[in-house]
């Protein structure tokens, strides 16, 4: 059984296809053991995905809740398709894949944008496109589901964008810069106590610098956005303007409106509108505005706090071995391993939230971070040899 698009996106009635049953006949031969195994796994995953959307819907209201419940119903229709094909072979429910189980756990306990990002990636990797047992409508469903989940995840990404950018940048900067500092100092031949002090002061200096810089950056960006938004001075000044000679038309032209729309708006403001004009001109905004523009930028204090805390949390990782009394090459190796793991995690999180491969993003972060640290270590060796 499969689902076809209808004019009602929240229509949850299943659509049946004749001939799709679990009983073997000339058109539908008995399924092979491999078919049964694969279909049962699909069945388990569809049930798990429907449960994920229902769990997410519990933490939403209004339109978002309706969308998530509609997605759950759609997954239920796909579930019914595999049940029909399996017939008596359905057997006891199988456990879902580890990916689906992880999604379910996160949806039940967190219900955040991370879950939607994971769900978006899961929908994009649907195996139905290469499986002849899945109908063309089911393949199309999965593609549409990816776009629906992408739209829902985008709302959360917009809310996170400003602070999340500062957090990721701060954490990675702390990890890479302090590891590079520690590696360079250690390679130069100074005592471990000096390396530790350098790392500690590098943490403090970097965290304060990041926090202050992010505060100034975000505050400046918000001020620029505020300066760009039009005021309502045209409403107050229009009644007193000279009808024959005024620059109100220039205001609207400068805001990017067409001449016809600008002239129409001037007539409205001056109370002179008496023409057979396109009524849509009265509905156009004077300047396209994004209600989420400040939301995407974030608050200055939030960005500063995120940068400070995440830089500090990243910068402390390279000096952990030295805090526990380790010295020499062993301390550097442990430091590099700890930072490598942290870089993989932060890169993976970025990948998850962006809907791309967390493995690729994690490895990219690792390569860049350890590459910078390695270069600094070689410079430290060279400088240490020169000084000696």
| CA separation for the pair 58, 95 (Å, rounded) | 23
Contacts of 192 (CB under 8 A, 6+ apart): 186, 322, 327, 328, 331
| CA separation for the pair 182, 187 (Å, rounded) | 8
Average pLDDT over the chain reads 75
pTM reported for the whole predicted model: 0.55
Would you say how long the chain is, in residues? Answer: 388
| CA separation for the pair 294, 303 (Å, rounded) | 12
In whole angstroms, how far apart are CA 310 and each of 88, 113, 169, 332? 55, 20, 8, 22
Please answer whether residues 174 and 314 qualify as being in contact, where contact means their C-beta atoms are separated by less than 8 angstroms. Answer: yes
Residue 163: the pLDDT is 60
| CA separation for the pair 345, 348 (Å, rounded) | 5
The CATH number given to 33-157 is 1.20.1260
| CA separation for the pair 84, 22 (Å, rounded) | 5
Beta partners for residue 15, in sequence order: 2
| CA separation for the pair 386, 379 (Å, rounded) | 11
Q: Residue 233: exposed, middle, or buried by beta-carbon count in 10 A (0-12, 13-18, 19+)? A: exposed
| Termini Cα distance of the chain | 78
DSSP-derived secondary structure letter, 96: P
Query: Could you tell me the residue ranges of all domains in the chain?
Result: 33-157, 161-227+299-387, 230-282
The DSSP-derived string for 130-196 is G-TTS-HHHHHHHHHHHHHHHHHHHHHHHHHHHHHHHHHHHHHHHHHHHHHHHHHHHHTT--HHHHH
Please answer whether residues 335 and 178 qualify as being in contact, where contact means their C-beta atoms are separated by less than 8 angstroms. Answer: no
Residue with the larger pLDDT of the pair 388 and 130: 130
List, for residues 15-53, the tens digit of each pLDDT value: 444 334 444 444 556 778 888 888 888 888 888 888 888
List, for residues 142-195, the tens digit of each pLDDT value: 888 888 888 877 766 666 655 666 677 778 888 888 998 998 888 888 888 898
**Minimal CA–CA distance to 152: which of 225, 243, 246, 56?**
56
Please answer whether residues 82 and 39 qualify as being in contact, where contact means their C-beta atoms are separated by less than 8 angstroms. Answer: yes
pLDDT grade, residue 200 (50/70/90)? Answer: very high
């Amino acid at each position: 059984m499969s689902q076809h698009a209808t004019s009602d996106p929240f229509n949850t009635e299943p659509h049946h296809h004749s001939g799709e049953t679990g009983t073997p006949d000339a058109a539908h031969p008995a399924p092979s053991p491999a078919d049964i195994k694969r279909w049962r796994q699909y069945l388990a995953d569809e049930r798990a995905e429907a449960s994920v959307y229902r769990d997410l819907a519990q933490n939403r209201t209004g339109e978002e809740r309706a969308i998530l419940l509609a997605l759950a119903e759609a997954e239920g229709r796909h579930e019914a398709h595999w049940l029909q094909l399996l017939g008596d072979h359905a057997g006891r429910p199988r456990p879902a894949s580890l990916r689906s189980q992880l999604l379910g756990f996160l949806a039940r306990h967190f219900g955040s944008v991370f879950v939607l990002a994971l769900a978006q990636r899961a929908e994009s990797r649907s195996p139905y496109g290469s499986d002849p047992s899945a109908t063309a409508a089911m393949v199309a469903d999965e593609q549409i589901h990816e776009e629906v989940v992408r739209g829902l995840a985008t709302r959360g990404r917009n809310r996170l964008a400003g602070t999340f950018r500062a957090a990721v940048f701060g954490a990675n900067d702390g990890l890479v810069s302090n590891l590079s500092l520690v590696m360079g100092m250690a390679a130069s031949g100074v005592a471990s106590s000096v390396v530790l002090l350098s790392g500690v002061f590098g943490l403090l200096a970097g965290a304060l610098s990041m926090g202050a810089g992010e505060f100034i950056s975000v505050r400046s960006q918000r001020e620029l956005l505020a300066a760009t938004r039009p005021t309502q001075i045209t409403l107050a000044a229009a009644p007193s303007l000279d009808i024959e000679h005024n620059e109100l038309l220039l205001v609207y032209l400068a805001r990017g409106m067409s001449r016809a729309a600008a002239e129409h708006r001037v007539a409205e403001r001056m109370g002179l509108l008496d023409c057979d004009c396109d009524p849509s001109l009265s509905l156009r905004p004077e300047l396209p505005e994004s209600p989420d523009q400040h939301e995407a930028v974030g608050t200055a204090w939030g960005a500063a706090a995120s940068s400070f805390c995440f830089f500090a949390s990243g910068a402390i990782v390279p000096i952990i071995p030295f805090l526990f009394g380790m010295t020499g090459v062993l301390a550097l190796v442990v430091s590099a391993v700890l930072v490598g793991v942290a870089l993989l995690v932060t890169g993976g999180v970025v990948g998850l939230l962006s809907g791309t491969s967390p493995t690729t993003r994690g490895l990219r972060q690792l390569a860049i971070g350890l590459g910078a640290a390695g270069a600094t270590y070689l410079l430290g060796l060279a400088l240490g040899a020169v000084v000696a």
